[in-house]
Amino acid sequence: MAMKRPNRRGFLKGGVALAGLATEGGQLLHGQTQGMPPKKIDELIAYGERSHFVTSIRVPVAERHSPDEFGLTFHVLTPLQDSFGIITPSSLHYTATHRGAFVPDIDPREHRLMIHGMVDRPLVFSVEDLKRLPYLSRIHFIECLGNRARPSHKTVQETHGLTSCAEWTGVPLSLLLKEAGVQNAASWIVAEGAEEVKGASSIPLAKAMDDCLVCYAMNGEPIRPQQGFPLRLIVPGFEGIYQIKYLRRIKLVDRYYMTYDDYGHINPDPKVAALTHQIGPKSVITFPSGGQQLSGAGFYEISGLAWSGGGAVRRVEVSTDGGNTWKNADLRSPAFPMAHTRFGLNWNWDGKECVLMSRCVDELGTAQPTRAEIAKYWNKPLDENLRIPGADNSVQPWRVASDGSIHNGLS
Amino acid sequence: MGFPRLLRILAICAVSQAAWTQSPTYGLGKTPAPEEVRKWDIAISPTGKELPAGQGTAKEGATLYVRKGCAGCHGATGSGAHAPTLISRKGVKPDPSAFCLAPCVNDANTMSLHSPFATTIWDYINRGMPLGKEGTLAPNEVYALTAFLLYKNGVIGEDEVMDAQSLPKVKMPNREGFALPPEWKHGEPRLQGYP
């Protein structure tokens, strides 16, 4: 990435207070190096930004670049290797679109949400209407079904970067559905976005009435355009495709509607069908992870994230010997239902080659499986060609080489 | 006297309770006009109940495929271009278990062979095509383009007319090739005993 040289004008304008401290060599006192932010100080007072020394960025998936030849955004990965705690900053939250999409520029004053179909009273809400209603804030992860580690992946951003976690604020969908009066014959909803392809998914009514939120805010501010401004449906624990961005319509129906996005998921095997939709228990070590470098033997803190679509994470275990023995990791954050949960483990590296892994158990007692356990379940050979049916929540190995470099254990 | 009176009071309470649960609590939101609902309602059921009047054939669709610019992204033959394959080359065996989401440039998995219902094709062309001019096709054009894709993939005959009655009845090759997920219940694992 090209380093932007400091702008002399900006430096003088923006750094009046600091300018007096500058030495001739461009070195500032207190150990600061020269390089003022390109924005004016009044802009930064109005809306802050991170230090220019912090350069962590999202990257598009390797299979299809974003923007593509049409200028469309497809799938963009969050830099989990640089993450702390459990909240993904909105600017770094992964994004995915149905087929590649332009980010729509929606005027929230014009935007409407229609609820209709098998209801007693079809209703149309403005964003202002929704903001007047009782709301909830919940911390939830969103993970794309395409979040699937491959041997060719080098970093945790590539293997697991299609999951992120944010605080979402909005009106319980059940409240809106009760306002409209759901008829007895309804069993599914079709939720639809306002972007050019009007992406739509069928969602079980039981889930819609349980814990879904019609959100207008994310991480304390209005949802960003890439994340669905002005309204996004949050379906906690379900795959990303259900979290309908630019939500404009909810239709109550009596069957699975087999929309384009539904049809892309279908499988003839009921067991595979069961392993999509709701995300299984999953965890990954984010430090040390692929592409990172240990500076030598000694103390390190192994850190990672665990989550489950079935509820809260109850326990995380870490292995430093390729899965032969497992130790209980410490939970280093609150364990919210259907949310990233941070774990850590004190570790003294002896400088020898080893393989690090993590696995978790959720509040339902469901455990994250290893690839070997999955291969055995499906009676498939355990090799690099193993394609895990349904959503991939398998254990991720990281190989620590004796020189301290970290590599994908699947390769 | 006292007992029937109590019953009457209870009956009144029950009626008002029912009225209360069936009426909205917050009174926000507007009632859309039926016309507004029809305009927005582009989700087509496998039963086809929302399909509008109109009709089209594969021959009309072949002309539209070129005229509306479909060939520009999907290729003149409907395969091998940078947008998803629409027409499978002859001899390619469909694989209904192959996972497929856009971009899906996969001969074994074109929509006409993979989707259990022809209504899905109509719905998607209507809502999402052509790229950059979504929602501009007239119902007749959507019927014709759907007929064209079904014909070119060997699902219907060249002269079969597709309309609101015939389209949902098309026997799709992958009609039985999908399983619904198990009924969703709060607090239950996705698949008992896995792995």
Q: Is the pLDDT of residue B174 over 80?
A: yes
Joined tokens for residue A367: 């455990």
CB contact under 8 A, A129 and B29: yes
CB contact under 8 A, A251 and B128: no
Work out whether the CA dihedral B46, B47, B53, B56 comes out positive or negative. positive
Shortest Cα distance from B51 to chain A (angstroms)? 13
Query: What are the strands, taking DSSP E only, across A163-210?
Result: 163-172, 188-193, 200-204
ipTM given for this complex: 0.86
Higher pLDDT, A396 or B178: A396
What are the CA-CA distances from residue A102 to residues A164, A214, A324, A364 (Å)? 21, 22, 47, 39
Parent domain of A358? 282-408
CB contact under 8 A, A70 and B134: no
| Judgement on whether residues A297 and A358 belong to the same structural domain of the protein | yes
Do the domain assignments include residue A318? yes
pLDDT tens digits, B68-117: 999 998 999 998 777 888 998 766 665 554 444 444 555 667 888 889 99
Work out whether the CA dihedral B89, B91, B92, B93 comes out positive or negative. positive
Do the domain assignments include residue B106? yes
Which of A267, A269, A364 to probe by mutation at the B interface, max B CB count within 10 Å?
A: A267
Do the domain assignments include residue A120? yes
| Judgement on whether residues A153 and A258 belong to the same structural domain of the protein | yes
Q: Is the pLDDT of residue A354 over 90?
A: yes
- Cα Rg, chain A, nearest whole Å: 23
Shortest Cα distance from B8 to chain A (angstroms)? 28
Q: For residue A288, what is the domain's CATH number?
A: 2.60.40.650
Shortest Cα distance from A197 to chain B (angstroms)? 4
Do the domain assignments include residue B189? no
- Residue A391's nearest CA partner among B190, B72, B117 is B190
Among B30, B47, B189, beta carbon nearest to A364: B189
Do the domain assignments include residue A353? yes
Do the domain assignments include residue A79? no
Do the domain assignments include residue B195? no
What are the CA-CA distances from residue A350 to residues A196, A318, A401 (Å)? 55, 17, 11
- Cα Rg, chain B, nearest whole Å: 24
Do the domain assignments include residue B41? no
Q: Is the pLDDT of residue A161 over 70?
A: yes
Cα dihedral B6, B9, B14, B19 in deg (nearest 10): 180
Q: Is the pLDDT of residue A28 over 80?
A: no
Taking one residue from A and the other from B, the number of pairs with CB-CB distance under 8 angstroms is 195
Give exposure, B18-56, as e/b (b: 16+ Cβ within 10 Å).
Answer: eeeeeeeeeebbeebeeebbeebbbbbbbebebbbeebb
| Judgement on whether residues A137 and A229 belong to the same structural domain of the protein | yes
pLDDT tens digits, B42-69: 999 999 999 999 999 999 999 999 999 9
Q: For residue A178, what is the domain's CATH number?
A: 3.90.420.10
Q: Does B134 touch chain A (CB under 8 A)?
A: yes
Parent domain of B89? 54-169
Joined tokens for residue A236: 């906690």
Considering chain A, what is the average pLDDT of its residues?
Answer: 91
Higher pLDDT, B91 or A402: A402
> pLDDT band at residue A255, thresholds of 50, 70 and 90?
very high
> pLDDT band at residue A263, thresholds of 50, 70 and 90?
confident
Number of domains comprising chain B: 1
Do the domain assignments include residue A274? no
pLDDT at A267: 86
Shortest Cα distance from A314 to chain B (angstroms)? 14
**Rounded-to-integer distance, Cα B76 and Cα B162, Å:** 23
Higher pLDDT, A13 or B164: B164
Residues 6+ apart with CB under 8 A from A171: A130, A133, A134, A135, A136, A213, A214
| Judgement on whether residues A233 and A123 belong to the same structural domain of the protein | yes
Residue B119 amino acid letter? T
Do the domain assignments include residue A21? yes
CA atoms within 13 A on the CB side of B103: 21
Which of A116, A253, A255, A263 to probe by mutation at the B interface, max B CB count within 10 Å?
A: A263
pLDDT at A216: 98
Do the domain assignments include residue A367? yes
Task: Specify the residue for token string 């759901």.
Answer: A182
Q: Is the pLDDT of residue A9 over 60?
A: no
Do the domain assignments include residue A103? no
- Other beta carbons within 10 angstroms of residue B64's beta carbon come to 19
Chain A: residue whose CA lies nearest to B121: A260
Higher pLDDT, A276 or A219: A219
pLDDT tens digits, A310-324: 999 999 999 999 999
CB contact under 8 A, B190 and A125: no
pLDDT tens digits, B12-43: 544 444 444 457 899 999 999 999 999 999 99
pLDDT at A385: 85
| Residues of chain A contacting residue B180, judged by C-beta atoms under 8 Å apart | 256, 270, 273
SS3 A100: strand
Q: Does B133 touch chain A (CB under 8 A)?
A: no
| Judgement on whether residues A309 and A234 belong to the same structural domain of the protein | no
A101 touches A72 (CB < 8 A): yes
| Judgement on whether residues A246 and A297 belong to the same structural domain of the protein | no
- Residue B74's nearest CA partner among B50, B45, B104, B51 is B104
Residues 6+ apart with CB under 8 A from B7: none
Do the domain assignments include residue B101? yes
| Judgement on whether residues A194 and A324 belong to the same structural domain of the protein | no
| Judgement on whether residues A227 and A355 belong to the same structural domain of the protein | no
pLDDT at B92: 63
Q: For residue B142, what is the domain's CATH number?
A: 1.10.760.10
Q: Does B100 touch chain A (CB under 8 A)?
A: yes
pLDDT tens digits, A47-99: 999 999 999 999 999 888 898 877 888 899 999 999 999 999 999 999 998 77
pLDDT at B104: 53
Number of domains comprising chain A: 3
Do the domain assignments include residue B22? no
- Residue that is last in its domain, among A236, A266, A296: A266
pLDDT at A2: 36
| Judgement on whether residues A220 and A289 belong to the same structural domain of the protein | no
Shortest Cα distance from B172 to chain A (angstroms)? 13
Q: Does B136 touch chain A (CB under 8 A)?
A: no
| Residues of chain A contacting residue B101, judged by C-beta atoms under 8 Å apart | 145-146, 241, 261, 264-265
CB contact under 8 A, B46 and A257: yes
Do the domain assignments include residue B179? no
DSSP-derived secondary structure for B50-119 = TPPS-EE-HHHHHHHHHHTTHHHHH-TTSSSSSSPP-SPPTTPPP-TTS---SS---GGG-HHHH-S-HH
| Judgement on whether residues A261 and A291 belong to the same structural domain of the protein | no
pLDDT at B95: 56
> pLDDT band at residue A36, thresholds of 50, 70 and 90?
low
pLDDT at B107: 62
Q: Does B173 touch chain A (CB under 8 A)?
A: no
| Judgement on whether residues A40 and A156 belong to the same structural domain of the protein | no
**Rounded-to-integer distance, Cα A204 and Cα A389, Å:** 22
| Judgement on whether residues A34 and A136 belong to the same structural domain of the protein | no
CB contact under 8 A, B32 and A122: yes
